[in-house]
Structure formats: structure tokens, C-alpha cells
């Protein structure tokens, strides 16, 4: 029952009015048929879609850390935290209004179905109209009906009038919005008819239904007419619910069913950590996993990701490949894989996987998977936590480790792998020259200073790239001024393997990583700092997969701490307007945003101006995911897109804290013939602001 009335009064009322509220045999049969057919059809539609998940690769870790997963489900699933992003606040709020209405009205849905069997006065335990809880629920129910109508009206405006580029405008989407509005209107129709039939209610406790019932009375409509309207609304409402339920698995709104599960099963380890492959070169090659070749080699979570795509397009708003007209759009990739999975479900479940086509290039073009910079924007923007990068890298893995001699594999990467294998650097320059940059800079090696506190992991860029050597010299000046007890490995240092892993060569990554870990163990390394976000990320977040954990800092974190502790004091003033470019692997992957800005603000006279896309929404330079070593043959150049944005701020200096970013920005300035703007690393600005006599204040 849905009336805010004492049970005793209602019982008395029912003895003097027609038995319209009581369950009839016809109602019971009709509801049983409607419910039975609806649920049977739904089960048939869901059966293949869910059963195929069991045939895909398992990921046992998805069931670990239940407490953390449940907390994230409450925050991001039920709490919809990602939906109200400031950049997407209006559509996010509209979605929250609709989602909240569905959550509240789910109780009402159960009640309505049971009314078909037990009569229109039925109510769930503790939700009777004579209870405080039941009375409060009735008010809340009417409120969310209005919010759902407001939210759907806003989305209809977006789809039919505004038509934002990122949003898929489809007939299905519009139809679903009208279905939701139909549910709300029929709920009002039924409630108003029920209240008008009783004739004694409070608008305060039935704000929407009560107002409509009052309108009926004002218009002089008979109770028989309004009750007939209410009953029609009741049955249409129940039909829409079951029709809507069966429509969900067939289209873009499948996420209504799978989205909360996808949020729950999101990875709880660092997003900077790719999946581990247990490579055994002595194992049966046919049974060894070398990456994704065919659809059945995806994990069940990857499939669930595609089911859960809302097609909201948020993954596109700052995606460097989408904005520069590359063939990769993550929304499009989700839809392509989802359709192929559904088309292949019968083959997978019959165990005839050998009949499936290779994903690349038959389903997904090679240009698509190699376009990705792994910048992470798509994942940080996705409201249902779809994991795009691991899936793309797994497809790259098969190409790199099995098909690297084909036209589907970028041949520039072959030269990079050769350099990493032979000289432990992507340029294939002599390993014996790795420490040459530091010979005249008063930089101690591990042999000179065996009791060091910090190991400075220099990285390939600073060891071999002339521009990065200057950055390394600036960092050396700063940490020497602070009196930091550190050392470098010099010629004993090897590449950490990040580039190999992002380009898909997992075997080479593990070999390089193990060599580096063994060297760290030789010198009992505990604390490490780097000047490259990619080195920082792989050592901090991915080396634990090989059983090696270290205390790792990026130079922006370390130098900021030295400034905070007043071990260095910048005092040379510079009249500079600087804009800062957030590195993807420091920002989105490791949540380091404030430290670099504090470093810049420590320099006297320096003014910081932000680009429109900054911090979490920062736009990639184009070098991540191994793209540093691959040419851009399709669409616009990503680095130029970023440089344009930086120059438009009016800044004379573009600062970054990543060797790759600095290279791409400098190249972009040169390619576009932009003069009067320079590109620097943030530590260079701090170093230049120190007096030559500046010494440790500790």
C-alpha cells in the first residue's frame, strides 16, 4: 500500500467502498504471465553473454581485497563520484539524478509487481504508510520521480538539440530516455488514481501524486475514471519495466546491468602497473601466453569492460589520438570488441577457438593499437573504470613477441629492441659510454661512495641525450647544494625496460628489469630517485611484480622536499612567465601534481600560468607508450597540439619534468617555427636560481 494513512482507517474505508484495491484472479494471472515471459526472455538474452565470460582468461586477483573493492563500489558505483567531474558537471549531475531515481524506485518496482498478486494496498515490511520509514520513502519516491524527469529532459536536449561531439546520437538512446520518462509518468498516473480513489490524503506526504489527484478533483473527474487511468498506468508501468529490462542486453545500455560489477572488479593496485605474464621459454610454446592473438584470450574483465561501456564519450575529450584524428577511439574500440565477442560467443563456447580470426588486423587494425600513447586519460575519465591500456598492450605483446617480422608491427620498434638487447639503451649507443656525462660534474659512483643513502637512477635519456645531460647537470647542482648523500651506477646501470614493456616486448622487459634488480641488490639499494617519470613508474609500480620493492622518488618530489626542509634556498630572481606541462606518468599514473608546481613557485620572480588542460586533464605530449620511438604517419602531430596550447598562454617558458615531454615540446616548437619560447625541465629553473656558492643548509 502506498498511502500515508492509518491502517485502521483504511480498513474501515475498505468496507464502504468498491473492492478495487483487492487482488483479483485476473490480475494474478496477468502479472504471472507478464513476469514469467519477461524474466524468461531476459534469462535467454543474458545466458550467452554471461556464459562466454567463463570461457575467457581468469584473473583470480579480481576477487582479492574485498573490503577495498566494496569501498570503491560505494564511492564510485553507488556514490557516482566520477560522474560529477567539474568539466562534465551538468551531464554528470543529470545522470546522478536518473541513477538515484532508479535506486530509490527499485523498491517501488518490487512493490508494484507484488501488488499484482496481493492487491493495490500491498506494501513491503517496514514501509507501510503508518510508519515513519514508509512515510519518508513515499516523499522521497515522489522527489526522485521529478529528478528523473529533469535528468532525462536534459539528456533529450543534449541528444536532439545541443548534440555534443563526444556523445553518440542514436535512436536507441532517445528511445530509452522516453521509456524512462514513461516509467515516471505512469508512476504518477497510478499514484494519483489511487489517492483520488481513497479521497483522503496529504499533499505534504504525496507531493506529486497528491497534486495530480487534487487536479482531478478540481476538474471534477469521477473516481471511476481516474482509477481506470491509474490501473492503465500501473500495467503500462510494469510492462515498460520488463520491456526495458530485456532491451538492456541488446544495446548501449547494457552498462545498467554490468556497470556496478565493473566498478567492483576494477584493479585496486596501481594503474601504472601492467599485467604480468609468466614467461617460460622452456614451456610448450603452444600453451604459453604471449599476448592476445584471438578474442578468447582476453580476460573476462576485459569482456565485462566492453559490456559496461556507456558510450558517454568522456574517454575522447582529452584523448590525444582522437583529437589528432588517429584511428583509435576507445569508445569505438570497446564497441568493436564487444560486437566481435558476441559474434564469436558460439565458437568460443564450442571450444573451436582455432576458427576465430586474429584480432589484429582482422578485427582491430594495427594502426589502432599502435596509435595509443598510454596517457591514461581514457581510464581516469571513465565512470565505470574500463581498463583500456592493459588490453591494448596485451594485443601489442602478441605482435611484438610473435609477429614482429610482419607489416602489422612498426619496424622502428625493431631497432629499439635491438638497441635495448645489445647496449641496454634504445639508441643502441655504446654501453661503456653510459656514465661519461658525469665524469666532470663531481658526481659519486656507487664504488666511490658505497655508503650512499640514495641511488640516482639516471636513465637512458640523461645518459645519452645531449639535452637531457644538461638537465642531469642541473639536478646534480641542486642535490650537491643540498648535501644529499647519493651515488650513481654509471656503466653498471642498465635500461629498466619500460619502453620494451609498453611496446609489447614483455620478455625483453623482464630480462632488463631482472638485470637492474640484480644490480640494485648487489649494492643493497633501498632508496632511489629518478629524473624520468617512466623510470619512476616502472621501478616503483612494476618491479614489485618481480619481487623487488624500493622507496622511489621522482626528482620533483625529492627537490620539493629539499626546498621544504630549507636545505636549498633559491635566491636569484627571474622575471619569467612559465606554463607547466603535466607528464602523464607523473600525474594521472602517480597522482603527483603539486610538488612540481611548488618547485616552480619557489623560484623568486617566476610566475606560473596554467594551460586550460592541466593536472588530471593534462594533454599528452605524444611520447608515451613507446610512441617516443615511432613516427606519426596518420593525422595531426600530438606534440604540436600541446605546444599550441602552451604558447597561447603567453608564457615564454614551457616547463616539464619528463625527458620525453621535453623532447616532444622542443620538437614541436621547432616544427612550428615558434621563436621566443623555450622548453626546460623544472629542475633547471631551480638550479639557475641558486647562487654558485649556495651550500647545504642542513
Q: What is the pLDDT of residue 85?
A: 84
Asked whether residue 672 falls in the same domain as residue 547, the answer is: no
First to last CA, the chain: 75
Q: What is the pLDDT of residue 168?
A: 73
pLDDT bracket for residue 15 (50, 70, 90): very low
CB atoms within 10 A of CB 571: 11
pLDDT bracket for residue 563 (50, 70, 90): very high
Asked whether residue 373 falls in the same domain as residue 488, the answer is: no
Please report, rounded to a whole number, the percentage of residues in the chain having pLDDT higher than 70.
Answer: 96
Residue 290 lies in a domain: no
- pLDDT of 482 > 80? The answer is yes
CB 477 within 8 A of CB 531: no
Q: pLDDT tens, 664-698?
A: 999 999 999 999 999 999 999 999 999 865 544 43
Helix residue spans in 251-299 (DSSP H): 255-264
For the chain, what is the domain count? 4
Asked whether residue 396 falls in the same domain as residue 419, the answer is: no
Of 539, 558, 577, the position where a domain reaches its end is 558
Q: pLDDT tens, 274-329?
A: 999 988 766 666 778 899 999 999 999 999 999 999 999 999 999 999 999 999 99
Asked whether residue 141 falls in the same domain as residue 197, the answer is: yes
CATH code, domain with 229: 1.20.950
Residue 614 lies in a domain: yes
458: nearest Cα among 530, 551, 559: 530
Q: What is the pLDDT of residue 693?
A: 57
- pLDDT of 615 > 60? The answer is yes
Region 617-623: mean pLDDT is 97
Q: What is the pLDDT of residue 17?
A: 43
pLDDT bracket for residue 9 (50, 70, 90): very low
pLDDT bracket for residue 652 (50, 70, 90): very high
Residue 270 lies in a domain: no
Asked whether residue 552 falls in the same domain as residue 614, the answer is: no
Asked whether residue 176 falls in the same domain as residue 130, the answer is: yes
Q: pLDDT tens, 39-54?
A: 999 999 999 999 999 9
pLDDT bracket for residue 208 (50, 70, 90): very high
Q: What is the pLDDT of residue 284?
A: 66
Q: What is the pLDDT of residue 204?
A: 82
Asked whether residue 376 falls in the same domain as residue 476, the answer is: no
Query: Looking at 1-10, 206-215, 435-444, which range is the least confident one?
Result: 1-10
Residue 695 lies in a domain: no
Region 90-96: mean pLDDT is 93
Please report, rounded to a whole number, the percentage of residues in the chain having pLDDT higher than 90.
Answer: 85
Residue 4 lies in a domain: no
Q: What is the pLDDT of residue 10?
A: 36
Of 558, 592, 608, the position where a domain reaches its end is 558
Asked whether residue 459 falls in the same domain as residue 386, the answer is: no
**CB neighbour list of residue 53: distance below 8 Å, 6 or more residues apart:** 300, 303, 304
Distance CA(382)–CA(276), nearest Å, equals 23
Q: What is the pLDDT of residue 282?
A: 61
Residue 38 lies in a domain: yes
CATH code, domain with 659: 3.40.50.10700
Asked whether residue 146 falls in the same domain as residue 206, the answer is: yes
Asked whether residue 116 falls in the same domain as residue 241, the answer is: yes
Residue 366 lies in a domain: yes
Distance CA(214)–CA(81), nearest Å, equals 39
CATH code, domain with 308: 1.10.1060
Q: pLDDT tens, 116-150?
A: 999 998 889 988 877 889 889 999 999 999 999 99
Domain range enclosing 476: 411-558
pTM strictly above 0.85? yes
What's the mean per-residue pLDDT of the chain? 92
Q: pLDDT tens, 152-202?
A: 999 999 999 988 877 777 889 899 999 999 999 999 999 999 999 888 777
Asked whether residue 398 falls in the same domain as residue 425, the answer is: no
Nearest 5°: the CA angle 226, 230, 235 is 150
Q: What is the pLDDT of residue 5?
A: 39
Asked whether residue 251 falls in the same domain as residue 308, the answer is: no
Q: pLDDT tens, 448-478?
A: 999 999 999 999 999 999 999 999 999 999 9
Distance CA(441)–CA(265), nearest Å, equals 50
CB 384 within 8 A of CB 90: no
Region 213-240: mean pLDDT is 94
Of 558, 576, 602, the position where a domain reaches its end is 558
Residue 16 lies in a domain: no
**CB neighbour list of residue 186: distance below 8 Å, 6 or more residues apart:** 233, 234, 236, 237, 240
Cell of 249: 542486453
Amino acid at each position: 500500500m502506498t498511502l500515508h494513512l492509518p491502517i485502521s482507517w483504511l480498513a474501515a474505508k475498505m468496507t464502504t467502498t468498491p473492492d478495487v484495491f483487492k487482488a483479483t484472479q485476473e490480475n494474478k494471472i496477468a502479472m504471472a504471465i507478464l513476469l514469467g515471459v519477461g524474466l524468461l526472455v531476459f534469462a535467454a538474452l543474458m545466458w550467452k553473454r554471461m556464459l562466454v565470460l567463463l570461457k575467457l582468461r581468469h584473473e583470480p586477483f579480481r576477487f582479492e581485497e574485498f573490503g577495498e573493492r566494496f569501498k570503491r563500489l560505494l564511492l564510485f558505483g553507488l556514490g557516482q563520484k566520477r560522474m560529477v567531474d567539474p568539466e562534465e558537471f551538468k551531464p554528470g549531475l543529470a545522470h546522478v539524478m536518473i541513477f538515484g531515481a532508479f535506486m530509490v524506485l527499485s523498491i517501488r518496482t518490487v512493490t508494484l509487481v507484488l501488488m499484482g498478486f496481493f492487491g493495490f494496498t500491498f506494501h513491503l515490511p517496514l514501509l507501510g504508510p503508518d510508519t515513519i520509514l514508509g512515510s519518508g520513502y513515499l516523499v522521497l519516491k515522489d522527489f526522485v520521480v521529478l529528478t528523473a524527469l529533469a535528468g532525462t529532459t536534459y539528456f533529450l536536449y543534449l541528444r536532439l538539440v545541443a548534440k555534443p561531439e563526444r556523445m553518440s546520437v542514436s535512436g536507441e538512446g532517445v528511445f530509452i530516455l522516453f521509456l524512462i520518462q514513461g516509467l515516471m509518468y505512469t508512476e504518477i498516473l497510478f499514484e494519483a488514481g489511487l489517492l483520488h480513489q481513497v479521497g483522503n490524503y496529504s499533499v505534504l506526504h504525496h507531493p506529486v501524486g497528491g497534486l495530480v489527484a487534487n487536479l482531478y478533483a478540481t476538474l471534477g473527474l469521477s473516481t471511476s475514471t481516474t482509477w481506470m487511468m491509474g490501473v492503465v498506468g500501473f500495467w503500462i508501468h510494469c510492462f515498460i519495466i520488463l520491456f526495458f529490462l530485456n532491451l538492456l542486453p541488446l544495446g548501449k545500455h547494457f552498462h545498467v546491468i554490468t556497470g556496478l560489477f565493473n566498478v567492483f572488479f576494477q584493479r585496486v593496485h596501481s594503474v601504472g602497473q601492467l599485467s604480468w605474464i609468466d614467461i617460460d621459454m622452456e614451456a610448450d610454446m603452444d600453451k604459453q601466453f604471449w599476448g592476445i592473438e584471438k578474442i578468447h584470450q582476453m580476460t573476462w574483465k576485459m569482456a565485462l569492460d566492453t559490456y559496461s561501456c556507456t558510450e558517454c564519450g568522456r574517454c575522447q575529450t582529452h584523448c590525444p589520438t582522437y583529437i589528432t584524428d588517429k584511428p583509435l577511439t576507445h569508445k569505438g574500440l570497446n564497441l568493436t570488441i564487444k560486437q566481435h565477442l558476441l559474434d564469436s560467443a558460439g565458437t568460443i563456447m564450442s571450444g573451436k577457438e582455432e576458427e576465430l580470426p586474429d584480432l589484429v588486423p582482422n578485427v582491430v587494425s594495427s594502426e589502432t593499437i599502435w596509435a595509443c600513447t598510454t596517457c591514461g586519460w581514457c581510464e581516469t575519465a571513465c565512470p565505470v573504470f574500463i581498463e583500456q591500456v592493459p588490453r591494448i598492450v596485451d594485443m601489442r605483446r602478441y605482435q611484438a613477441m610473435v609477429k614482429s617480422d610482419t607489416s602489422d608491427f612498426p619496424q622502428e620498434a625493431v631497432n629499439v629492441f635491438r638497441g635495448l638487447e645489445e647496449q641496454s639503451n634504445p639508441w643502441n649507443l655504446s654501453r661503456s659510454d653510459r656514465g661519461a656525462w658525469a665524469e666532470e660534474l663531481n658526481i659519486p659512483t656507487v664504488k666511490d661512495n658505497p655508503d650512499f643513502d640514495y641511488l640516482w637512477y639516471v636513465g637512458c635519456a640523461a645518459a645519452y641525450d645531449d639535452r637531457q645531460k644538461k638537465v642531469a647537470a642541473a639536478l646534480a647542482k641542486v642535490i650537491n647544494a643540498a648535501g644529499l648523500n647519493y651515488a650513481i651506477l654509471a656503466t653498471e646501470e642498465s635500461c629498466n625496460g619500460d619502453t620494451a614493456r609498453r611496446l609489447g616486448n614483455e620478455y625483453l622487459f623482464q630480462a632488463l628489469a631482472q638485470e637492474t634488480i640484480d644490480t640494485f641488490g648487489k649494492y643493497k639499494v633501498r632508496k632511489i630517485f629518478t629524473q624520468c617519470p617512466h623510470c619512476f613508474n616502472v621501478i616503483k609500480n612494476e618491479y614489485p611484480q618481480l619481487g623487488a620493492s624500493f622507496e622511489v622518488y621522482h626528482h620533483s618530489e625529492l627537490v620539493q622536499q629539499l626546498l621544504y626542509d630549507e636545505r636549498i634556498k633559491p635566491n636569484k630572481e627571474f622575471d619569467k612567465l612559465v606554463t607547466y606541462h603535466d607528464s602523464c606518468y607523473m600525474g594521472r599514473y602517480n597522482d603527483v601534481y603539486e610538488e612540481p608546481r611548488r618547485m616552480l613557485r619557489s623560484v623568486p620572480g617566476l610566475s606560473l600560468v596554467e594551460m586550460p588542460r592541466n593536472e588530471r586533464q593534462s594533454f599528452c605530449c605524444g611520447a608515451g607508450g613507446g610512441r617516443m620511438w615511432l613516427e606519426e604517419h596518420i593525422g595531426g602531430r600530438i606534440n604540436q597540439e600541446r605546444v599550441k596550447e602552451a604558447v597561447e598562454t603567453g608564457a615564454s617558458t614551457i616547463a616539464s619534468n619528463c625527458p620525453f615531454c621535453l623532447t616532444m615540446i622542443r620538437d614541436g616548437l621547432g616544427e612550428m617555427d615558434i621563436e621566443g619560447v623555450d622548453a626546460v625541465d623544472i629542475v633547471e629553473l631551480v638550479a639557475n636560481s641558486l647562487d654558485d656558492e649556495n651550500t647545504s643548509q642542513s
